[in-house]
Structures are given as C-alpha cells and as structure tokens.
Amino acid sequence: MTEQEYDLIVLGAGAVGENVADYATRGGMRTVVVESALVGGECSYWACMPSKALLRPAAVLRAARAVDGARRAVTGGVDAVGAFARRDAIVHHHDDASQTRWLASAGIDLVRGHGVLVGERRVRVEVSDGDPVDLVARHAVAVCTGSEPRIPDTPGLAEANPWTSRDATSATEVPASLAVIGGGVVACELALAYAGLGARVTMLVRGDSVLGGMEPFAAEAVRAGLEEAGVELRTRVEVEEASAESGSTALRFTGGDLLSVERVLVATGRAPRTRDLGLETVGLEPGDWIEVDDTLRVPGSEWLYAVGDVTRRALFTHQGKYQARAAGDVMAARAAGRPVEDGPWGRHVATADHTAVPQVVFTDPEVAAVGLTAEAARAAGRRIRTVDYDLSWLAGATTHADDYRGHARAVIDEERKVLVGATFVGADVAELVQAATIAIVGEVPLARLWHAVPAYPTLSEVWLRFLEEYGRDESA
C-alpha cells in the first residue's frame, strides 16, 4: 500500500472543495481532492442549479402574462418535458467530465472514493476498484463535505421512501399530488416549481408561516404567492405518521387530519455530512457541525480546516465559495510563511459571514436579502431605523409589469449611518441585492449614497426612495 504526500488534502469536491483546492494550489500548495460522488457537488447537480432551472419556465411565462401587449401571445402553460430537458442540460446530465478536466487543468489531483480521517493530517480513501489510498498532508486537511437533507424520525416516514430535494430536483415525472414537509427556502422553491409543472401541491409547515428568519413581509408575500400558484398551505402542523400505500403515501398530522398524496418531499433542514469522516480520530464529534475561526481553521488545531455548509456559518454555495477563497489562500500563506491578513475584512477571513450574507429565494415574488433583518438587528442590540418602500410606486415597476407588487426594507444603523440590512420582495428583484451587499460591506455612509444615482426607470430607483424616506437631514 502506497502513501501519497500532499501539502493539502481536501475532503469533498463540491463548489467549496474545488475553490479551496484552487486557491491553495495557486498559492503554491500541492493539493489533492477526495470525492466519492460527482465533482462539482450538490449545488451544480441537485440543488441551486436544477431548482432554478425548474422554476424558470413558469417565471418567464408569468412575466409575459403580466404585460398587456404580450399577454395574448401566451396561450399555454409550462411544458414539463421541455423543462426537464432543460434541467438535464443544465446539470450536464450528471456527468462531471468538464469539472474533472478543470481540476486537472488547475493542477489539482483527484482521488475518487470515500475519504476518512485516520489521525492527524492523515486520510484513508476507500476506493471501489482497489486497495485503499493513504494520503498524508504536510500542511493541512480541509473538510468540505457539505450538508445533506435532515429526515425527521416521524414514524413510517423513512419507509414511505420520501423525496428529498435531490429527488425533487432530478425527477423526470411530475407527481399528480405532492406533499412538501417544511417551510424554508427549499420547501417554498420546490413547492412552486412543482405547482408550475402541474402537480397538486400541499405544504405542511410547522410554524406560523414560511421562510422563518426573513423579514415578515417577505414571508407573507411568498406565502400569498404560493397560494396564488395553487399551493395549499397548512401551517402549524406537525406530521405525526406516514404510511406507504400502493402508489401513494398517507400522512397523518396534527389534529388527526389525513392527507393522501402520490409523493412526499421532505425539506425540513440540513444536517452536516460529518458522520463517517473519522472525526473521532482527531478529537471531534462525528455528526456534529464543525466549529471554525474566521480563517476557517478548527480552534486548537494547526492543520484542520472546515469550509462551507459543514461549518454551519452560512449554508449557501456562494458563501461557502467565499469562505473557500479565504481558506485556500490562508492555508497557502501559512504553509509558505507569508503574512496572514486576519483582521476584520482581511484577505484571509470570512468576515462577511457575520454581517453580509446575501440570499435570493426564487419564488413568486422573489425575495432578495442581505445582512440583518430588523428583528435580528434589534435582538443584537443595534440602534437601528427601518425604511420601507412599496415597490409598486416606482416608475420602473410600472413599466416592468402591469399591477407590479413588491416591497423593500432597508435597515439603517443609526450610530454609524450605514446600511446593515436590506430585503427586496417582488418580481425580478434578484439582481437588486448586490448593490446592498456592496453598500454594507463597503460601509458606504448614507451621505455618500445620495450620490449613487439609480438609473430611471429601473427597480433600483428604490435606493433613492430609501434615502428620501429616511430624510436627507438625518443622513449625515
């Protein structure tokens, strides 16, 4: 059995692992990535990309129907065959050849198999077609194994063979009826996608509404949009039992109500993929999220890093990649003895994880948010003021769609006179959030933002409205 030595071993070749490896390699580290499934990871094949692909056809038809002069040209609904074919093309038919080519071109080695820590800086990879491969890291090991759907231990549920987001995003047929357990982003997006594809969808939500943690007006708008799309929402319900029947599943929930559906989709949150990584050999608890400092290193360790979902810092592809850039870079800097910039907003820290994590929910309406909600800011003891604006009042909304509906909120830090949070809700608001992210991260004073003129007539004019509502005298 051979032992191969590298500067860095990366466990997991999702978007996060790829970026850790890329930045570390460019920083001079000889790097190997270990992956048991597809190179490219969850997001490319089973999450963001296919779910957006499935949502888009209904979204563009909705947009066309919302404009007089175009409305009459739309005579049908979503064509599921076309939508699935498009999704298949977007996920490259689950073929990771282009990603593995990219790894090779970037000078990164790949070992296909399941990697397990077997002690400090040591990884053993079980491969399907031969002896295990033993890897040794001269400098660091980065755990980038991500997360997976958490299945509640509801009696009968596992036996009913429910869909997870993976199944829903890779399905090739539309069930006649679908129960979605959960009320978060994944639940809302997939409920809308399948309603658009023609399924009769029922959402079973434990809380009072969907999208807990977001601004309440965003949750309310998405809830209303789901209902308009034909989704039946049952809130404050807990599924107590599931029983598989031939071709269908019966769910019994709070109060004894029964629902029989062709398919059940479980979207009740994520769990870290850390159960079988040998974490116990390095003093960590298998199955737990992995705590790290802002350089993504495990406290108390010189060599162990964790990046992406597995850290629970912010479960988004884009934020994981951001962490990956810092982590790859800092490992290379430390390995080479170069200076480490680990002060706030330094090159080697993921400062934005704490203050400026953007998120877009591709529902109808869309939600695009970054930074603190009003409630979160107050809970954190910040002295804030919120500024609200009805997007339908914008000239840009009037031209965008007949009867445009939308709402936006800015959260202003009253001490520093800067933006600390923003939420936009409405059709096609996804691209509005980057401006807010730059304003927050750049700590651009409100007084200066008055000079950042939005083009007319666009939805971005909401920036002017925010400032006008806030008041110029108060901006300085």
Instruction: Rank residues 312 and 318 by Cβ distance to a second copy and give the closer one.
Output: 318
Sketch the per residue contact string, 332 through 361, with a second copy: x for CB under 8 A, - otherwise: -------------x-x---xx---xxxxx-
Decide: is 109 part of the binding site for a second copy (CB under 8 A).
no
Cβ of 345: how many Cβ atoms within 10 Å? 12
Decide: is 476 part of the binding site for a second copy (CB under 8 A).
yes
Q: How many residues sit close enough to a second copy to count as binding (CB under 8 A)?
A: 90
Decide: is 57 part of the binding site for a second copy (CB under 8 A).
yes
Q: Minimum distance from CB of 44 to a second copy (Å)?
A: 8
Stated as kind and residue range, the H or E segment containing 149 is: strand 147-149
Contact positions with a second copy (CB under 8 A) in 403-422 = none
Instruction: Rank residues 47 and 259 by Cβ distance to a second copy and give the closer one.
Output: 47
From 318, 385, 405, 417, residue interacting with a second copy (rule: CB under 8 A) = 318
CA distance 55 to 196: 8
From 48, 144, 219, 387, residue interacting with a second copy (rule: CB under 8 A) = 48
Decide: helix, strand or coil at residue 203: strand
Contact positions with a second copy (CB under 8 A) in 155-214 = none
Q: Report the candidate in 146, 145, 140 with the shortest Cα–Cα distance to residue 298.
A: 140
Q: Are 409 and 351 in contact (CB under 8 A)?
A: no
Q: Report the candidate in 370, 362, 369 with the shortest Cα–Cα distance to residue 427.
A: 362
Q: Minimum distance from CB of 453 to a second copy (Å)?
A: 5
Contact positions with a second copy (CB under 8 A) in 433-472 = 433-435, 437-442, 444, 447-461, 463-464, 472
Angle separating helix axes 317-336 and 15-26, nearest 10 degrees: 30
From 379, 383, 395, 416, residue interacting with a second copy (rule: CB under 8 A) = 395
Instruction: Rank residues 174 and 310 by Cβ distance to a second copy and give the closer one.
Output: 174
Tokens matching residue 136: 């040794």
Cα→Cα distances 399→105, 290, 402, 438, 449, Å = 46, 48, 7, 27, 25
The rounded radius of gyration (Å) of the Cα atoms in the chain is 24
Contact positions with a second copy (CB under 8 A) in 256-315 = none
CA distance 404 to 393: 9
Q: Are 108 and 31 in contact (CB under 8 A)?
A: yes
CA distance 40 to 214: 29
Decide: is 83 part of the binding site for a second copy (CB under 8 A).
yes
Instruction: Rank residues 137 and 419 by Cβ distance to a second copy and give the closer one.
Output: 419
Q: Minimum distance from CB of 435 to a second copy (Å)?
A: 4
How is residue 296 annotated by DSSP?
S
Q: Minimum distance from CB of 2 to a second copy (Å)?
A: 35
Phi and psi (nearest 5°) for 22?
Answer: -65, -50
How many CA within 13 A on the CB side of residue 139? 24
Q: Minimum distance from CB of 190 to a second copy (Å)?
A: 15
How many CA within 13 A on the CB side of residue 91? 26
Decide: is 321 part of the binding site for a second copy (CB under 8 A).
yes
Instruction: Rank residues 136 and 444 by Cβ distance to a second copy and give the closer one.
Output: 444
Q: Are 369 and 218 in contact (CB under 8 A)?
A: yes
Beta bridge partners of 421: 371, 411
From 322, 389, 404, 470, residue interacting with a second copy (rule: CB under 8 A) = 322
Instruction: Rank residues 7 and 329 by Cβ distance to a second copy and give the closer one.
Output: 329
Decide: is 399 part of the binding site for a second copy (CB under 8 A).
yes
Instruction: Rank residues 7 and 428 by Cβ distance to a second copy and give the closer one.
Output: 428
Q: Minimum distance from CB of 388 to a second copy (Å)?
A: 19
Stretch that binds a second copy, among 42-50, 94-102, 117-125, 154-162 (CB under 8 A): 42-50
Q: Kindly give, in sequence order, each residue whose CB lies less than 8 Å from that of residue 213, ignoring residues fewer than 6 positions away.
A: 373
Beta bridge partners of 170: none
Contact positions with a second copy (CB under 8 A) in 136-155 = none
Query: Residue 390 class from Cβ within 10 Å (0-12 exposed, 13-18 middle, 19+ buried)?
Result: middle
Strands 133-143 and 122-126: antiparallel
From 3, 5, 28, 60, residue interacting with a second copy (rule: CB under 8 A) = 60
Stretch that binds a second copy, among 112-120, 167-175, 269-277, 395-403 (CB under 8 A): 395-403
Q: What is the largest CA-CA distance in the chain?
A: 73
Q: Minimum distance from CB of 393 to a second copy (Å)?
A: 12
Instruction: Rank residues 383 and 448 by Cβ distance to a second copy and give the closer one.
Output: 448
Decide: helix, strand or coil at residue 174: coil
Decide: is 402 part of the binding site for a second copy (CB under 8 A).
yes
From 30, 37, 66, 138, residue interacting with a second copy (rule: CB under 8 A) = 66
